[in-house]
Structure 1
Amino acid sequence: MKVAARWRGWLGGLLLAAAAGASAQEPIRLGMIDGLSGPFANAGEAVTRNLRLAIERINARGGVKTAEGARPMELVTFDSKGNVDESLIQLRALTDKRIPFVLQGNSSAVAGALVSAINRHNARQPDARVLFLNYSAVDPSLTNENCSFWHFRFDASADMRMQALTEVIRQDQSVRKVYLIDQDYSFGHQVSRSAREMLAARRPDIQIVGDEFHPIGKIKDFAPYIAKIKASGADAVITGNWGNDLTLMVKAAREGGLQAKFYTFYGNGLGAPAAMGDAGVGRVLAVAEWHPNVGGAASDAFYQQFRARYPEPKDDYVHLRMQMMVEMLARAIEQAGSTDAVKVAGALENMRYVNQFHEATVRADDHQVLQPLYVSVMERQGGAVRFDNEGSGYGFRTVRKLKAAQTTLPTTCRMERP
């Protein structure tokens, strides 16, 4: 790919120049706490790739401008093994290293524990406060009753994502019976509640024929669950499952001959399209802030840059929000003139991110990022689906784009400010 080769050469040259100019300055370290081993290691590794590319892009243009001169960014990873207790141990290791920024997202249970621990840490050690940037933990409580001045969420909440999915279901008259299946923790229960409430408001004619929770990260064979879904007569499944739990479930759905549509939060990557194969065409839907087939030269270039950096098909899982998060953090540090948590948080509040294919705003009231959402459906590569996922031969086509105003929900946050 000529574009990819040119981009690699351009980036390599800029990285060398930037390294020479910024080598004397201590890097601004970002500490990522996420599962890099265990059942959800694939999700943690996907995050790492996105964050590294965003950091490389910033460093390639000279780093972050500060009063002391330009400083490079550096990613430091901490393996939480996907569980709360280990995440808190890793947070202590991170703060001991005086790293000012905590990045996490895969697990709302972990995010909730981190928010509480960071609140305590920042109260006890005001000279070593940290800021928590959340790229994927979507439990609505994190920007409502459990909101924190020290926490910013760059993903849409579960309620915002469900708002988008149920808007599509509202117009899909083929859906009459819905089965809800989710992971058995705070996020999964919130997805179930949101689905029930929003379906009742938009499609009161729909019958919910199942509402089931399964242990997170422990099910190896979803065939019994698929058999129950088939027996229920459901013509649609709504799930917030992510990582290996989603991949194994859609694989079992294909093998079990389940004909229902899947309305998912994360069905567009981490092996799910390949696992479903032809059985998912026209029937697996996902919601996200962006996908590779959004269209337009700028969106295409963004995706092609990622693929040039990570050419292996297994590495193809691109998150605009994670790269946007790092860009906004760099700008906030420059505006604040400091890595001080209070000053950077103040700069992030009400910040707008605008490029040629996306626009987002940080709501100061609760630190929730507001942005458009796309609901897309799985199709064979070709036509409108120019880019497939993970070399599977299947990609996603936009079904509905919802503007930020259409997914923005009120907040109950009563934020305590330092």
Structure 2
Amino acid sequence: MMILPRRHVLRACALALSSLLGVAAPLAGAAAPPQGAPIRVALIESLSGSFANTGEAVFRNIAWAMERVNARGGVALPPAAGGARPLMLVRYDSKGTNEEALSALRAAIDGGARFVMQGNSSATAAALIDAINKHNQREPGKRVVFLNYSAVDPALTNEKCSFWHFRFDAHADMRMAALMEVIREDKALQRAYLIGQDYSFGQAVLREARRQLAAQRPDVAIVGDELHAVGRVKDFAPYAVKIKASGAQAVITGNWGNDLTLLVKAAREVGYDGMFYTFYGNALGAPAALGDAGVGKVVAVADWLPNLPTQGSETFYRAFRERFPSPQDDYVHMRMQLMVEALAQALQQAGSDDPLAVARALEHASVRLYGQAGAMRAQDHQFQQSLVIGVMDRQGAPGVKFDVEGSGYGFRVVRQIAADKAQMPSTCQMQRL
């Protein structure tokens, strides 16, 4: 990949400029614009191809979070480190492949970025971690810190943990354990179908589903267990037919993006009326694809949901909808906001943008936003935060003030799991600097 295309550089500059001027900054009062050189943060994500919608959704979240930081004056550093400096988000398209992601990493480093964000693929995250480990050892003067918002293969903060990698999402085992809080109480469930994407994350989800079902619901028979190619299946009808024919009363899946939307749509079309226990069933077209067939049937686990019954949560969500009024842009994640807050906090505590100093500060990050809070665990760089479980229902039903993507369907919170209950042990043996 070549260095960031000019149109993307201009877009990033426009983003930084709008932030400097206080444009679209609903979460903070106006402050003196930061005058120092921008701190460049690279977003390496699928911005074209099958998962372009997920990449663009992430961009909106992180751009909005940086606008908030810049609107309150940017990152306050000592004069010797440039004084008050804005965050600048620069986009790099990985095109859904590890090879392009690695090329994007090289371009980002050459372009001056020392902080990299990625998340929508655990396989890509693993490749980036390996490349960053080698790069940082080879070129200590150009070290890079990797902030991960969605790649949830448990190995990334266990056997593959790295000093340079920080994960801000709950990993797959944590999410599955949260889902099991509801599955354990679903006494009608006797037969389950497991389906997932055929790469490290999807494999980890199914592996953990088998383990936790055996431990907590040994009475549940697994009547289907299969993996499919990531982002390549255009017609899920054959899978949906098998799910229905199996007699499964529930599907357990970690699918995301179009691989989830097309799966649930196909299930509806063949008349499957069982439950869907999902990691990501609350957004990106899935509720609209299911329609009324999903009411009371789709369960999703998340770090936060718009219908969380707190005033702070509602204020936060309304601010996002004001910033991005199009229903198609309705994809907001609290963890991405907390991640940017943690980066800004670590930069200020480090007193510079030196990646080593910032990484050391990030190990102890503790942030709060609109009543939601989280803290980094230094042992394995796994962010610890509360989780919530939601069930799909019609907008206007009790507990469903807000719908998803203008679909008329939202998620009613049925379980909140505190951070200390959501955490899991780690096998990480990290080498620190």
More relative contact order, 1 or 2 (CA 8 Å, 6+ apart) = 1
Shift in alpha-carbon separation, 1:37–1:167, aligned structure 2, 3 A: same
Does the 8 Å CA contact 2:33/2:70 hold for their aligned counterparts? no
- The aligned residue for residue 341 of structure 1 is 355
**Paired-residue identity, %:** 61
1:139 alignment partner, one of 153, 159, 170 = 153
Q: CA deviation at 1:145?
A: 0.2
- Once residues 22 and 347 of structure 2 are traced to their aligned partners in structure 1, the CA distance between those partners, rounded to angstroms, is 29
User: 1:365-412 CA distances to partner (integer Å, 9 max, x unpaired)?
Assistant: 000001111010000001310000000000000111111122211101
Give the Å deviation of 1:12. Answer: 5.8
Report the AA paired with residue 27 of structure 1: P
Q: Cα RMSD (Å) of the superposition?
A: 1.7
Judged with a 3 Å threshold, the aligned counterparts in structure 2 of structure 1 residues 10 and 180 are, in CA distance, closer, same or farther, namely same
Correspondent of 2:37 among 14, 19, 26: 26
Spell out, residue by residue over 1:127-176, the C-alpha distance to the aligned partner (whole angstroms, 9 max, x if none): 11010000000000000000000000000000000000112101110111
Query: Moved runs in structure 1, 4+ residues, more than 3 A?
Result: 8-18
Deviations 1:222-258 (A, max 9, x none): 0100000011100000000000110111111111110
- Given candidates 137, 143, 150, the residue that maps to 2:164 is 150
Deviation at 1:266, TM superposition (A): 0.2
The verdict on how the C-alpha distance between 1:13 and 1:243 changes in structure 2, with shifts beyond 3 A counting, is closer
Please give the alpha-carbon distance, in whole angstroms, between the structure 2 residues aligned to 1:143 and 1:54.
25
Match of 1:97 in 2: 111
Alpha-carbon distance in 2 for matches of 1:344, 1:96: 20
Q: Which of residues 182, 189, 193 is equivalent to 1:168?
A: 182
Alpha carbons of 1:177 and 1:394: their partners in 2 closer, same or farther (altered >3 Å)? same
For the residues of structure 2 that align with 1:128 and 1:270, how far apart are their CA atoms?
A: 36
Q: Structure 1's 148 and 170: CA in aligned 2 closer, same or farther, altered over 3 A?
A: same
- Residue 173 of structure 2 aligns with which residue? 159
Q: Which amino acid aligns with 1:54?
A: A
1:21 shift after superposition: 3.2
Structure 1, gaps ≥5 residues long: 1-7
CA contact (8 A) 1:237 1:261 kept: yes
Aligned-partner Cα distance in 1 for 2:123–2:68: 31
Of residues 276, 301, 309, the one that matches 1:295 is 309
Match of 1:196 in 2: 210
Match of 2:282 in 1: 268
> Unaligned regions of 5+ residues in structure 2, if any?
1-20
Whichever residue aligns with residue 391 of structure 1, its letter is: G
Which residue does 2:60 correspond to in 1?
49
Structure 2 length-normalised TM? 0.92
Counterpart Cα distance in 1 of 2:23 and 2:51: 34
SS at match of 1:171: coil
2:425 to 392, 396, 410: 410
After superposition, where does 1:188-337 map in structure 2 within 5 Å? Answer: 188-337=202-351
Superposed CA deviations along residues 17-65 of structure 1, whole A, max 9, x for unmatched, are 65x732x411011100000000000100100000010000011111000
Are the counterparts in 2 of residues 177 and 234 from structure 1 also a CA contact under 8 Å?
A: yes
| Per-residue Cα deviation, 1:63-110 (whole angstroms, up to 9, x for no partner) | 000112110111001000111111001001011112010000000000
Once the two structures are TM-superposed, the CA of residue 334 in structure 1 deviates from its matched residue by 0.2
Assess, with a 3 A threshold, how the Cα gap between structure 1 residues 17 and 402 changes in structure 2: closer, same or farther.
closer
Taking structure 1 as the reference length, the TM-score comes to 0.95
- Cα deviation for residue 16 of structure 1 reads 11
